[in-house]
């Protein structure tokens, strides 16, 4: 990753922040996107720029505003001179049960988890072709095995897996496109899963434990830096949960 430039959406906290730290440690410079987490973004920028000056820049945007997405790519190239990789990490996650789903839920969950990665990848494609770059999408094991009561989220992540495969074909041979599908890594900030639900999930995970955010970051690093003949692939990082559901 030495000298490479990576745009990471939702990079201010949680898994996104771990991806930023891992790629930065490997030598990359980061354009860190955030929507509302300005404080966390500035702290992470200061932390990483202290280690290597001028290696992390910030950009704020609402990814639901499709017309603004090309500016993320343009500003990255203006700041660092090129773009080597895009990590579509930003996500929204909450339940939507049949009978209660409305258009606002659809627009939010599809918009963040599927629409934004599509249009941001489209905007980034010309710059990535110049550098023989790569895209990594963060999907979910529930893309293939829907999570009960999370209809729209599951549909959105299934679409993102399909988008990964389609873009891998459309952008070849110049740009590789892959995905990482987390399992039980970090529980949502909101108390969506109580302790009993969490233990039930862990008990149905073959490795019988939670993963760590760095497990996801390592997989992203592998796909960007160490997998030149891999494209159209989704790596499940879930302790084997996808085979036990």
b/e per residue 195-220 (b: at least 16 CB within 10 A): eeeeeebeeebeeeebbebebbbbbb
Output the six-digit token pair for 38.
């300005």
Is 153 a residue of the active site?
Answer: yes
User: Would you mind telling me the total number of residues written for the chain in this entry?
Assistant: 245
Angle at Cα 168 formed by Cα 147 and Cα 137, nearest 5°? 40
- At how many degrees (to 10) do helices 116-131 and 151-171 cross? 20
> What are the structure tokens assigned to 173, written together?
């041979």
Q: Which of 94, 150, 153, 229 is catalytic?
A: 153
Question: Nearest Cα to 154, choosing from 201, 110, 212?
Answer: 110
Q: Which residues are catalytic?
A: 153
């Amino acid at each position: 990753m030495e000298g490479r430039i990576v745009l990471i959406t939702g990079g201010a906290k949680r898994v996104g922040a771990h991806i930023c730290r891992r790629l930065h440690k490997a030598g990359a410079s980061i354009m860190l996107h955030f929507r509302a987490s300005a404080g966390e973004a500035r702290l992470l920028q200061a932390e990483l720029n202290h280690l290597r000056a001028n290696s992390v820049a910030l950009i704020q945007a609402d990814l639901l505003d499709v017309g603004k997405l090309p500016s993320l790519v343009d500003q990255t190239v203006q700041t660092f001179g090129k773009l080597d990789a895009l990590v579509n990490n930003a996500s929204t996650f909450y339940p939507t049960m049949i009978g209660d789903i409305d258009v606002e839920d659809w627009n939010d969950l599809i918009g963040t988890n599927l629409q934004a990665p599509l249009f941001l990848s489209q905007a980034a494609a010309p710059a990535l072709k110049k550098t023989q770059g790569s895209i990594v999408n963060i999907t979910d094991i529930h893309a293939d095995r829907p999570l009960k009561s999370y209809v729209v989220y599951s549909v959105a992540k299934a679409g993102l897996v399909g988008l990964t495969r389609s873009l891998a074909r459309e952008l070849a041979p110049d740009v590789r496109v892959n995905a990482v599908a987390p399992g039980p890594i970090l529980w949502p900030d909101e108390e969506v899963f109580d302790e009993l639900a969490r233990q039930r999930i862990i008990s149905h995970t073959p490795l019988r434990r939670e993963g760590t955010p760095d497990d996801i970051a390592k997989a992203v690093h592998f796909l960007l830096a160490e997998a030149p003949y891999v494209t159209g692939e989704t790596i499940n990082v879930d302790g084997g949960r996808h085979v036990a559901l």
